[in-house]
Structure 1
Amino acid sequence: MAKTEVATDTYLVGIGVSPGISIGEINLLSHSASIDEWPIAEDEIAAELERFQWALQQAREQLLEIKASVSRKKHLREHLYILDTHLLILEDEMLVQGTEKEIQGGLNSEGALKRTLRKLRQMFENIEDEYLRDRSSDVDAVGSRLMRILTGENERSIADIGHKALVVAHDLSPAETMQMDREKVLGFVTDKGGQTSHTAILARSLEIPAVVGLETITSLVHDGLPAIIDGSNGIVILKPSEETFKEYLKRKQSYEYLEKELHGFRDLPAITTDNVRVTLRGNLEMASEFPVSRKHGTEGVGLYRTEFLYLGHNETPSEEEQIEAYREILTEMQPESVTIRTLDCGGDKIVSQLNVHDEANPAMGLRGIRFSLSEGNLFRTQLRAILRASVHGKVRIMFPMISGVVELQRSKRILREVQLELTRDGHAFDPDIEIGIMIETPSAVLLADVLAEQVDFFSIGTNDLIQYCLAVDRGNEHVAYLYEPLHPAILKALQMVCRAANNAGIDVCLCGEMAGEPIYALVLLGLGLHELSMNPGSIPRVKRVIRRLAKSDGEVLLQDLQQLQTAKEVSSHLDRKMRELLPDIFDQSLI
C-alpha cells in the first residue's frame, strides 16, 4: 500500500529518550511484519520442535558474534551485560517451554512463538514501574530475532547504513543499537520503546538523539524524507519547512553550545551564592550507567535500584552474584557513597520467578518492604550480599515503602540477625553501615518525627509520594493531569519530612523526578534539602542553576508559596520568580 503524502511541518510527539537535535534524511529500516499462524498435524510436531530449537541455536550464535564484535569497541564494553541478558532470555523457561507447549498443541513455530510473546508482553504491561515494564523490550528483541530466523526474513541492517541518516524503525534492539556507527547514524526514531529500555540507555550513552514510542511513524515515512529529531522534547518533524529548518538549526547550535558550557560544571561544587553546599548524586541501576554518571559529575549514588538483578534469570540471583554486582558499583564510585535500595518489587513490579500473585490493587499490595518481609530467605540473602560487599566501599542500606514503625523495626531486626550470622561465619563487613528509609507514603510523612529517631537518613521518593498523597495514578490518562508536584499538600508533606529530619539531626535526600528539574531547585533549597539524587544527565543543569541561587531566596519563596491554595497558583508564581532571577535560563526552552 502506497504511503499518504506527508504534509509540510508534520509534528509527531513521542518519548524523548536521548537529548539533542538531529537534522537529516530518513533511512527506513523496518516495518512491523504480520506473523501467520497455522495448525500442524501430529506427525509434524517433532520436526517443528526441532526447527524451533534450531532457531534458538542460530540466535545464540548471532548474539555471541555481536558480543565478540562489541567487545572490540572500548566505548561499548560496559554494555556487554545486555547481550548476556538476551542470551539468558533464550534459555528462559517461560519463553522456551511456553513456545514448545504451543507447538505440542498443534501450532506452527512462528504462531507458537507469537502467542508466547503476547502472554509475556501482557504480563509486563501490568507492571506499574516504568523501569521494570521496559524490560519487556528485551524479551521483544529476542523474540523478534527468533521470528526473523524462523521466517527467513532479511531485514536491512543498521550496520549496513553507508551514509549519514536519521534511522527510523519499528523497534531497535540493544544489539542493533550497539552496531550503530555514530558517524553515520545522526539520530533514531522508533514506533515502540520506553524511557528506561536498554535501547534508550544505550542511546544516551552513545549520545545519539532519539525519540521512541511514536507507534506509527514507520507507516508514514519513506527513505530520503527530510526530518528533524528533537530528543530533548520528544518531537519529530517530518518534511520541515525552510522556516522550521532554520529555527531548529539555531536550536541545535544553542543546544551544542550549552552542552559544552555544562561540561565545564562537571568538577565544580554545587554551592549557592550564600555559600550553602548541595550534594548532587545519581540514580543508577546498571553497570553501563557508571561512566555516563561520572561524566556528568555525580557525587556518588543516591539511589541504586537492585531490581534488574532479578530480571533475565531463571532463578533469583545468588548471594555471590549480588556481591559481585554491588562490589562493581562500590569500587567504581569510590570514595563516594552508594545508597543501595533493597528489592522494590511485588504487586505492580512483577518478577516472574518470585511467584508473585495477581492482586486487585497492586500499588497498595504486597510490594516494597512488605514483599521482602514476606520472603524472608530472599531478603536475608540480599542483606548478606550488601553487607559483605560493604568492605569494598562506602555503602548505605535503604528500605523502600516503609509505612510505619513496625515494618522498620522488623527490617532492622532481620538486619541485626544477618550481621550476627556473618560475624559467626567469619565474613567481614562494615559494622557502622548506615540505615535509611524511603519516604513515599502519607503515613511515613505523618510519622516522620518518630521514624527519624530510628534511622540514619531519609530519602524522599516523590514519584510515589505524590501519587499516594493525591490518589493519582500518573499512568492513567484520565487522571494524570492531577499529578502535580507543586500541589500545596505536597509542599506541606515535604516540609514536614525535612523538619523532622533536621530536628533529629539526620540527612535527608530527595531522589524523585523533582530533583532533576532545574525549575524546582529554589523550592528544594528553601525546604532545606542539601542532597538531591537524579538521572545523571540532569546533574549539570541543576548544578548550573543552584550555583546562581541563594538559599535565603528559597526560604522567602517557600513562605510565599505556602500562602497559595492551588498547584496552578504555585506553579505560576514559581515560574515568574525563576524568570526574574535567571532570565537567561528560564526565558529559553533549553535549560
Structure 2
Amino acid sequence: MVSIVIVSHSPNLAKGVHELASQMSQGKVQIAVAAGVDDPENPIGTDAVAVMMAIEEVYSPEGVLVLVDMGSAILSTDTALDLLGSEIAANVHVCAAPLIEGTMSACVAAAAGMSLIQVADEAHNALCAKYELLEQAAKLPGAGSIGIDLEHEVSGDELEFEWQVKNPHGLHARPASAIVAAVSSFDAEVWLSCNDKRVSARSLNGIALLGVRKGDKLNFIASGNEALSALEAFIALAKKHFNESVEEGTAEPPRPTRRVTTHQDGRLSAVGASEGIAIAPLWHYRPSMPKAPERDFLGYEEEWSRFSRACDTAQRDLADLVVRTANAGSKSESEIFIAHGQMLSDPELGEQVRQRLKEAVTIEKAWEQVIEQTAQAYEASASEYMQARANDVYDIGRRVMALMTGETGQQIVLDEPVILVAVDLTPSDTAQLDPEMVRGIILEHGGTTSHSAILARSLGIPAVVGLSGIMSQSPEGEMAIMDGSNGDVWLAPHAEQLDNARRQAEELTRKREQAQAMAMEKAVTKDGLALDVFANLANLEDAEKAIHCGAEGVGLVRTEFLFTDSEQVPSEQSQYEFYCKIAAAFGDKSVIIRTLDIGGDKPLAYMPQEQEENPFLGCRGLRLCLQHVDVFKLQLNALLRARVEHPNLKVMFPMVATLEELNQAKYLLNSCYETLQHNGIAAAMPEVGIMVEVPAAVANAGLLAKEVSFFSVGTNDLTQYVMAADRGNDTVSYLVSAAQPAVLRMIKQAADAAHEAGISIGICGEMAGDPKLTSTLIGMGIDELSMSPIRIAEVKQAVRETDSIKAVDTAEAVLNASTLKQVMSLL
C-alpha cells in the first residue's frame, strides 16, 4: 500500500492534517509527519533530515507520496531525496497538490489500494470539486471552460442501483471516502451518477465533483466480473447512510474561507549566488511570447500546417528535455515537461485554434489569443496551485510562438527599482538588466555557477537562486528583503527587519566605497606580498571598465565572443586587430588570451558538431579546435602577429586533459609561426599557458607544468567535473561550489605542481572574485586572481587585510575540512 508523508512548516498544521487523514483512511494508511524545526523560539520551518526520516519510517516498495505546503518544504524534500539515495528516491513522488485537500484525497486513494500514480492523480485533482461547489471555475469568452466533461451514456450490460441520499450534508468527504473504500477492491468498473454527471466511484475527487446534496437521486453503476459483488457492497453501505448518522442536523455546511499560511518571520532560505542586500518591491518577470506578425491570412490549410509543424517540433524538444532532465536525476523537472507536452496536445486547445482559423485569423494571432485567454482563466482561479499553472501555459505558448515566428527576444523595461522574481533567466535576460532598477534577483531555478548567477555578479546585482515556488508565494508589488550572501529572503518584512536590513546594506555600501577609493592601488598583503589582480573580459568595453576598476592586467580574454557574434569565421585580420586593441589598452600589463572555447553550451553554426548525448563531456575547447585546424590556424596566426607589437600578450589553451593534446596545440602554434616567417610576415612567439579545468589536468599537472609558462585554474568547470554535478542542474546545485573540499584540494595540487616546475598559477573562475576566499587562496600559493571587473576593488581590499603567513595556516585548516559547511564556517 502507498504511504503518505506530510511536510509542513507548522507542527500544529501538520498534526491537524494528519488527524483528518487518519480518520478518512480509517487508519489503514501509513502516514508520517515532518514539520517544524528544533528551535523552541522559532519552530516554524522545515528540516531535510526530518523529511528523510519520515520517508524512511513509512517507506513502502509500492511508493511514498510526499505532500508539501510551500517554499523551503520543497527544498528540504529535494535534499532529503538526495540523502536517501536513488533506489529509495525512485519510489517517492513529491506532489504539488494543496496540502490539506491533497492529503485527504491521497489517503483515501491509498486505502483503496490504488497505485502511486493513481494516488498522486487523486491528490492533484483535489481542488476540482471545490471549484464546482464554489462555482469558481474560471470562464472567459471564447476560451472554453477549465474542467472535466462528466456526461456519459449508460450501456445495456451495466448493473444499476438508485438511492435517495438522506445524509444532511450530502456526499461530503467522509461518506465519499467510505464509498471508495467499499467498492475499489472489486474486479469491476464502478461509477456514480447524479445530476446528469457520471464519475468513477474509485475517485474521491470525482464523487465530490458530483455535488450530491440531501434528497438527490444517486445511481451506482457497475460492470465486469465482480459487478454484482460491488453492487451489493454499495447497497449495504448506502443502507447505513455511508457510515454516517442522518440525524446530525440539516444545516448546510459553511463555505470554507481561504487562508494563506506564511513563514513566521517571512523568511525563506535558498542559495546565495551574488552578494549584497536588496530592499525593494517584488516584480515578477514572465518572458512574454513574441508578438504575432501583421500579415495576410494564407488560407486554413497553410495556417494549420504552420501550427502543426511548430507543435511537432515543440513536442520533440519537450521529449528531449524529459529525457535529459530525467537522466540528470531531476525527476520532478522531467514531469513538468511531460505535463507541458500533454497540455500542448490537449484537443480542446487545438479546437480553439481551429475555430479562430475558420474566422480567417492568422495562426500566430490565433495562438496568441488562445494562450492568453487560457492563461488568464488559470490566473483567475482562487487556488494558488491553479494560478501557478498559468506559467506553464505561457511557457508552452512562448515555445510554439517562437518556432512560428523565429523571434524570442524581450526587453526588460522598469520605471522603479525592484527585486526581480522569475522561474529562471537566460544570459540574454540577465545581461540587459539595469542594476539601478533591478536591485536584486530571486530565481526558482539555477545554481551559483549558472550563467544567470555569473552575470548577476558581474553586474553587481545581489541574487538568490534555487528558491522553488517563489513565483506563487510572493505577491507582485509586495516589499521584500533579500541577502545574496546567504540566500535569505524575507517576504512582507516588518519594520524592525527593514531597519536591520537597511543598516547592513549601508555598511556594505560603506565598505565597497572604501575599497573603490583604493581600487587603483596595488594589492599587497599586510606583510608585503604582492598579488596580481586581473580582469576577465570579452570586448573593448570590458577592457575600459576593467582599467577603471583597477585591473592590473587581463587573466582571461574570452575570444569565443568574436566567433559567436559573427555569422561566419572571423577573418585573421579582424582577429589580429581585436587582439592588438585589447593588448594596447593595458600597455605593458599582462594580457592572457584564451583560444577559442566552443562546444558544450556554446555551439557555432559554422563549426558543425555531431549531436552528443553529453556535450559537456564531449568535443569542446581545444578538442574541437584540433578537429577544425583551418579555423584554429587563423586564430593562432592573428595572435602571433599581434605579439610582435605587444610583448605583453600571452596565449592560453582551454580544456587541456592530456600531454598529447597540449603538444598538438604547441606544434600547430610553432607551425603557424614558421609559415608566417617563411612568408615574410612578422610574428613573435608568446608565452603559452593552459586552463586547468578538468581533473585529468590536475592529475597530469606535473607533466603539463614542464611544457608551459603558466597555469590558470578555471574553477567553474573544474568544480562541475570534480563534483560530477552539472552547474545547470537545480537538483545538484548544493554540490556546485568551488569551496567544496575536493575542489580546494585539486587547486592546491595544481599549485604545488606549478611551483615545483617554477611557473606561476592563477585562478580565472568565479572563485577568484569571492573576497571570502582570497586569504585562503593566498595561503594555497595562488599568484594571480582574475575576475569580473566589478569585483576587483573588494578583492584587492581583501588582499590588503591578509597576513600571508597566517593565510598559510588558514589554508591548511580549510584543506583539512571534511565538508563544505566546515569550509564556510572557517571562512
TM over 0.5: same fold?
Answer: yes
Task: Write the distance in 2 (CA, Å) between the matches of 1:471 and 1:368.
Answer: 19
Equivalent residue number for residue 78 of structure 1? none
Task: Write the distance in 2 (CA, Å) between the matches of 1:166 and 1:190.
Answer: 7
Cα displacement (A) at 1:474: 4.2
Cα displacement (A) at 1:469: 3.7
Cα displacement (A) at 1:396: 0.7
Equivalent residue number for residue 401 of structure 1? 655
Aligned to 1:522, the other structure's residue is in SS state helix
Matched, 1:352 2:605: yes
Percent identity among equivalent residues? 34
Task: Write the distance in 1 (CA, Å) between the matches of 2:547 and 2:749.
Answer: 33
Q: Is the 8 A contact 1:297 1:540 kept in 2?
A: yes
Task: Write the distance in 2 (CA, Å) between the matches of 1:29 and 1:495.
Answer: 42
Equivalent residue number for residue 279 of structure 2? 23
Equivalent residue number for residue 572 of structure 1? 822
Taking a change above 3 Å as real, the CA distance of residues 211 and 32 of structure 1, as seen in their structure-2 partners, is farther
Task: Write the distance in 2 (CA, Å) between the matches of 1:196 and 1:545.
Answer: 22
Ranked by relative contact order (alpha carbons within 8 Å, sequence separation 6 or more), the top structure is 1
Cα displacement (A) at 1:251: 1.6
Matched, 1:285 2:541: no
Task: Write the distance in 1 (CA, Å) between the matches of 2:546 and 2:468.
Answer: 30
Task: Write the distance in 2 (CA, Å) between the matches of 1:31 and 1:341.
Answer: 34
Larger Rg: 2
Matched, 1:299 2:552: yes
What do residues 36-87 of structure 1 show as CA deviations (whole Å, max 9, x unaligned)?
A: 99x96367669x99xxxxxxxxxxxxxxxxxxxxxxxxxxxxxxxxxxxxxx
Cα displacement (A) at 1:377: 0.7
> What is the TM-score normalised by the length of structure 1?
0.67
Cα displacement (A) at 1:524: 2.0
Matched, 1:414 2:668: yes
Q: Is the 8 A contact 1:187 1:229 kept in 2?
A: no
Letter of the aligned partner of 2:662 in structure 1? L
Equivalent residue number for residue 513 of structure 1? 766
Taking a change above 3 Å as real, the CA distance of residues 4 and 208 of structure 1, as seen in their structure-2 partners, is farther
Q: Is the 8 A contact 1:519 1:575 kept in 2?
A: no
Aligned to 2:531, the other structure's residue is in SS state strand
Q: Is the 8 A contact 2:430 2:456 kept in 1?
A: no
Matched, 1:108 2:360: no
Cα displacement (A) at 1:200: 8.0
Letter of the aligned partner of 2:439 in structure 1? G
Q: Is the 8 A contact 1:347 1:356 kept in 2?
A: no
Aligned to 1:567, the other structure's residue is in SS state coil
Letter of the aligned partner of 2:509 in structure 1? E
Task: Write the distance in 1 (CA, Å) between the matches of 2:546 and 2:271.
Answer: 21
Equivalent residue number for residue 315 of structure 2? none
Q: CA RMSD in A?
A: 4.7
Q: How many residues align?
A: 480
1:187 to 439, 459, 467: 439
Equivalent residue number for residue 756 of structure 2? 503
Task: Write the distance in 1 (CA, Å) between the matches of 2:700 and 2:671.
Answer: 26
> Map of 1:359-438 to 2, 5 A cutoff?
359-391=612-644, 393=646, 394-429=648-683, 431-438=684-691
Aligned to 2:550, the other structure's residue is in SS state coil
> What is the TM-score normalised by the length of structure 2?
0.49
Aligned to 1:314, the other structure's residue is in SS state coil
> Map of 1:303-318 to 2, 5 A cutoff?
303-318=556-571
Letter of the aligned partner of 1:407 in structure 2? E
Aligned to 1:515, the other structure's residue is in SS state helix
Cα displacement (A) at 1:510: 2.1
> Map of 1:540-559 to 2, 5 A cutoff?
540-559=793-812
1:444 to 697, 703, 728: 697
What do residues 476-501 of structure 1 show as CA deviations (whole Å, max 9, x unaligned)?
A: 44544445645555454333322332
Q: Is the 8 A contact 1:16 1:211 kept in 2?
A: yes
Q: Is the 8 A contact 1:158 1:176 kept in 2?
A: no
Taking a change above 3 Å as real, the CA distance of residues 530 and 166 of structure 1, as seen in their structure-2 partners, is closer
What do residues 200-228 of structure 1 show as CA deviations (whole Å, max 9, x unaligned)?
A: 88877776666688787666666653333
Matched, 1:251 2:501: no
Q: Is the 8 A contact 1:6 1:238 kept in 2?
A: no
Task: Write the distance in 1 (CA, Å) between the matches of 2:548 and 2:429.
Answer: 24
Task: Write the distance in 2 (CA, Å) between the matches of 1:392 and 1:226.
Answer: 55
Taking a change above 3 Å as real, the CA distance of residues 191 and 343 of structure 1, as seen in their structure-2 partners, is same
Equivalent residue number for residue 143 of structure 2? none
Task: Write the distance in 1 (CA, Å) between the matches of 2:614 and 2:428.
Answer: 33
Letter of the aligned partner of 2:822 in structure 1? S
Cα displacement (A) at 1:398: 0.5
Taking a change above 3 Å as real, the CA distance of residues 196 and 553 of structure 1, as seen in their structure-2 partners, is closer
Aligned to 1:335, the other structure's residue is in SS state coil
1:332 to 579, 585, 589: 585
Cα displacement (A) at 1:434: 0.7
Cα displacement (A) at 1:175: 9.5
What do residues 142-190 of structure 1 show as CA deviations (whole Å, max 9, x unaligned)?
A: x99x97x98xxxx99836x3x66666688799699869694xx363657
Query: Structure 2: any 5+ residue segments left out of the alignment?
Result: 1-137, 140-257, 308-356, 370-394
Q: Is the 8 A contact 1:211 1:235 kept in 2?
A: yes
Cα displacement (A) at 1:414: 0.6
Aligned to 2:796, the other structure's residue is in SS state helix
Aligned to 2:606, the other structure's residue is in SS state helix
